Amino acid sequence: MTTTRLLTVAPAARRRRTGTVERPRRSVLLTVLTGIVLVYSLIPLIWLFINASKTQSDLFSTFGLWFGGEFALFDNIGRALTYDDGIFLRWFGNTLLYVVVGAGGATLLAVLGGYALAKYRFPGKRAVFAVVIGAVAVPGTALAVPTFLMFSSMGLTNTPWSVIIPSLISPFGLYLMWTFASEAVPTELMEAARIDGASEFRIFWQVALRLLAPGMVTVLLFTMVATWNNYFLPLIMLRDPDWYPLIIGLNQWNAQAATAGGTAIFDLVLTGSLLTIVPLIIAFLFLQRYWQSGLSAGSVKE
Amino acid sequence: MTRITPRTRRVLIGTAVTGVASLALAGCSGGATDTDDALEEGGTITVWAWEPTLDQVVEDFEADNPGVTVDLVNVGTGIDSYTALSNAISAGTGLPDVAQVEYYALPQYALQGALQDLTEYGADEYEGTYAPGPWLSVTSGDQIIGLPMDSGPMALFYNKDVFDQYGIEVPTTWDEYLQAARDLHAANPDIYITNDSGDAGMAASIMWQAGGTPWTVDETTVSFDLEGDQGAQRYAEVWQTMLDEDLVSPISGWSDEWFAGLADGTIATLPIGAWMPANLEGSAPDGAGAWRVAPMPQWEEGEVTSSENGGSSLAIPADAENKELAYEFIEYANAGDGVQTRLDGGAFPATVADLESEEFLNEEFEYFGGQQANKVFSESSAAVVEGWQYLPFQVYANTVFGDSVGQAFLGQTTIAEGLAEWQSTLESYGTEQGFTIE
């Protein structure tokens, strides 16, 4: 009795649960889980925004997840931008320089290298593969000190180059472009172009690069975030605050409270942090549609 | 000591100040290497320091000496700065001409021979210019490895409003301190006598005041006695009792919570160095009027003992490029006109003449309700217990303090066990570094 009922009920239940591609079934559990993840990721941002709008004494005395007595966001922004002769803007400019040259350069190199590894056959390719895979596993932090000693003997420490040059290398980006290029650029297309008499450079520039755009944006976003948030490398390479990126500069502001005779400027640290993440948020909003197509590329065999 | 009337005292101080000035001049001609020419020749020096009052000193120094450029760079506070300095020393390039080094970190660099002996430039003539504590800290054997910039004789900062509100007496001994901790916390569970999450500098200052010598250093021989030492035992006893009875707030020093607690009265006292007023004024302005300063609680009733907490020197790396000019600068900043500039900026002096000057002693602190707090600090400076030494690897020792003794603050172990573990960590580190451990 029980068995037959189960058997008759089961197909109907399954149909109801799976839904169709056009009308995906709604799952309360998944919605709740996604909601929790959403709240979990947004709370720090909301906290940052709320607290960047407080005066320092409100910061100390009022509840962290609600606004203080006075909405001082614009006053705080003004003070953060002008504090210590506007050093924040200088740090902002430095960060932009490191991101544009470092992350931009890393993306360019990854595209060139990934395309070559995916589409050309040459001796030693397997060795390169092994080295790249190995390099993905080595955290950049572990290389920072040897890099420092090497750069120091070359006289490059405490210059922007000491941050830019190591940022140019992104093994992960190279690997990503490699797999992406082998899927996204059909060899037949390259052969057709060759028959039409296009040079290898022209094939890369006019045919392959268009097809590689989604992957490029993905790598660009990864390297951008990595360079923007790079902490340890500039920390040991740079001594002159004039060359600091934002993240090291904010750390210096934060440390100022712990100095005999220093003044705590936690309000400015928070406002500065808020200003620091705004460009990243904008970059993600603008580039996300490229990124989505980049993520799914190669996932389905055509 | 005979009593001196204010008038004669002022005359004496006047003489002392002129004495310092003429010493500064004599320092340049007295047989040692002549650094005076360096000023006239001009040039550029790089100074690594985080002390905020140096900005003005540098400006004045450059104005007085056209042709001299001082590049003042804040490479980080404390340990960050030492990381940069150690990196530059081991790389052999990018060294500054002058570096701010805290007293506790000096032996570490001195022993490597990384700091210039300043007796070569006549710095030995400044003996007596500085309070004994800081002066001892900058001497290493027969070398002088820096000039003291400030000092931090300990005092008990307390929130008078809180003590008055609950009718509790300000403690004068550590026994009374413990009792006050109990009474305050019982009267209002939000209030703690102080905060500590395992601060190595604080522990050292407490052991020092308790007459401790938990380690002794004789050149490259270091011996530890963190179990039997009187200072270590006294520290462990009082702090363990406070931890067991949940009387210490677990807030870390220098955090935003800390400044909040100082401002709203939930942290009722701070045994800390005399440089603290500028920090209170700048970072806990809401506590103004509530705070006062008292002498340190004593281990034996009726005693007057104290110790130093923090403080830094300006030193010259042995491989610096422009050492003569560098010496002229640190002389100006720490013994010459720069001292007054720095005092005006809120720094606490290491120079005897300033520690004893009427103007300094009579200064009324608005933050402390008009109290002449410098009198307390000055007496503390004179009462610093002799015989304390820092380890030749104190920077390392302080960074690993949290892994052993710090665990007691989380209830994972006891302070006594933590100290024993700290000792064994330090012994094996010392052996690795080539010291003889006894």
Residue with tokens 């504090």: A83
Contacts of residue A69, defined as CB under 8 A and 6 or more positions apart, other chains included, come to A58, A62
Lowest mean pLDDT, pick from A14-23, A292-301, B248-257, B418-427: A292-301
Q: Is B283 on the interface with A (CB under 8 A)?
A: yes
Calculate helix-pair angle for A73-97, A266-296, nearest 10 degrees: 50
Chain A contacts in chain B segment 340-359 (CB below 8 A): 345-348
Report the distance separating Cα B390 and Cα B398, nearest Å: 11
Q: Is B259 on the interface with A (CB under 8 A)?
A: yes
CATH number of B154-307+375-437: 3.40.190.10
Average per-residue pLDDT for chain A: 85
Chain A contacts in chain B segment 389-428 (CB below 8 A): none
Q: Judge whether A198 and A207 are in contact, CB under 8 Å.
A: yes
Residue with tokens 């990721």: A41
Nearest Cβ partner for A236 among B50, B87, B273: B87
The full DSSP string for B307-336 is -B---EEEE-BTT-S-HHHHHHHHHHHHTS
The pLDDT value recorded for residue B18 is 39
> Highest mean pLDDT range out of A219-228, A292-301, B134-143, B188-197?
B188-197
Q: How confident is the model at residue A59 (pLDDT cuts 50, 70, 90)?
A: confident
Chain A residues in contact with B74 (beta carbon < 8 A): 241, 252
Burial class for A210, CB neighbours closer than 10 Å (0-12, 13-18, 19+): exposed
> What ipTM was estimated for this complex?
0.74
Residues of chain A with CATH 1.10.3720.10: 77-296
Tokens describing residue B272: 């800390």
Residue B340 has pLDDT above 80, yes or no: yes
The pLDDT value recorded for residue B438 is 85
Task: List the alpha helices (DSSP H) in B30-141.
Answer: 36-41, 54-64, 79-91, 106-111, 132-138
Chain A residues in contact with B80 (beta carbon < 8 A): 235, 255
| C-alpha distance from residue B73 to each of A171, B69, B234 (Å) | 35, 13, 41
Q: How confident is the model at residue A260 (pLDDT cuts 50, 70, 90)?
A: confident
Strands (E), chain A: none
Q: How confident is the model at residue A19 (pLDDT cuts 50, 70, 90)?
A: low
If you average pLDDT over residues B409-423, what whole number do you get?
A: 95
Q: Is A83 on the interface with B (CB under 8 A)?
A: no
The pLDDT value recorded for residue B234 is 96
The pLDDT value recorded for residue B158 is 97
User: Quick check: A155 and B152 CB within 8 A?
Assistant: no
Q: Judge whether B344 and B266 are in contact, CB under 8 Å.
A: no
Could you read off the pLDDT of B353-364 as tens digits, one per residue?
A: 999 999 999 999
Instruction: Tell which residue, A253, A249, A290, has the closest CA to residue A269.
Output: A253
Class of domain A77-296: mainly alpha
Q: How confident is the model at residue B71 (pLDDT cuts 50, 70, 90)?
A: very high
pTM beyond cutoff 0.90? no
Chain B contacts in chain A segment 37-66 (CB below 8 A): 57, 59-61
Q: How confident is the model at residue A13 (pLDDT cuts 50, 70, 90)?
A: very low
Report the distance separating Cα B21 and Cα B24, nearest Å: 5
CB atoms within 10 A of CB B421: 18
Rg (CA), chain B: 22
Class of domain B6-151+310-355: alpha beta
The pLDDT value recorded for residue A297 is 55
Sign of the CA dihedral running A56, A62, A63, A69: negative
User: Quick check: A264 and B259 CB within 8 A?
Assistant: yes
User: Quick check: B260 and A240 CB within 8 A?
Assistant: no
Q: Judge whether B349 and B147 are in contact, CB under 8 Å.
A: no
Could you read off the pLDDT of A69-124 as tens digits, one per residue?
A: 888 899 999 999 999 889 999 999 999 999 999 999 999 999 999 999 999 989 99
Instruction: Tell which residue, B322, B328, B394, B329, has the closest CA to residue B109.
Output: B394
Q: Running DSSP on this structure, what letter comes out for residue B364?
A: P
Q: How far is CA A228 from the centre of its chain?
A: 8
Could you read off the pLDDT of B263-288 as tens digits, one per residue?
A: 999 999 999 999 999 999 988 999 99
Q: Judge whether B131 and B311 are in contact, CB under 8 Å.
A: no
Residues of chain B with CATH 3.40.190.10: 6-151+310-355, 154-307+375-437
Which of B256, B257, B309 to mutate to probe the A interface, most A CBs <10 Å? Answer: B256
Q: How confident is the model at residue B130 (pLDDT cuts 50, 70, 90)?
A: very high
If you average pLDDT over residues B107-128, what whole number do you get?
A: 92
Residue B10 has pLDDT above 70, yes or no: no
